[in-house]
Amino acid sequence: MDVVCCPLDKADLELDVDERDDEEILAGTLTCTECGETYPIEDGIPNLLPPDMREEAAA
């Protein structure tokens, strides 16, 4: 998905794929090339919440 960036500093994200199904990425990690923050992809859905909101949303 070329439309996303790091929510904190808007820098590029680097994709590491853990699980792929045809052309779809099911699991993996997006890492900010600037600040190093990581964002998970689970069940095909990237979670791009800033880290502080991610904790809250998991509840």
Partner 1 sequence: MTGDDPADPVDTDDPESGLAERRGLDETVVYQPAEDSGLLAEAAVAEAHGRVLEVGTGSGWVAQQIADERGLAVVGSDLNPHAARQARERGVEGVVADLLSPFRADAFDTVCFNPPYLPTDPDNEWDDWMEHALSGGESGRELIEPFLDDVGRALAPGGVVLLLVSSLTGYDEVLTLAEDAGFAADPVVEESFPFETLTVVALRRA
Q: Are 46 and 30 in contact (CB under 8 A)?
A: yes
Q: Are 7 and 47 in contact (CB under 8 A)?
A: no
1-40 footprint of partner 1 as x/- string (CB under 8 A):
xxxxxxx--x-----------xxxxx------------x-
CA distances from 46 to 34, 35, 56 (A): 18, 18, 17
Distance of closest approach, residue 51 Cβ to partner 1, in angstroms: 11
Q: Is position 43 an interface residue for partner 1 (rule: CB under 8 A)?
A: yes
Residues of this chain that interact with partner 1 (CB under 8 A) are: 1-7, 10, 22-26, 39, 41, 43-50, 53, 57
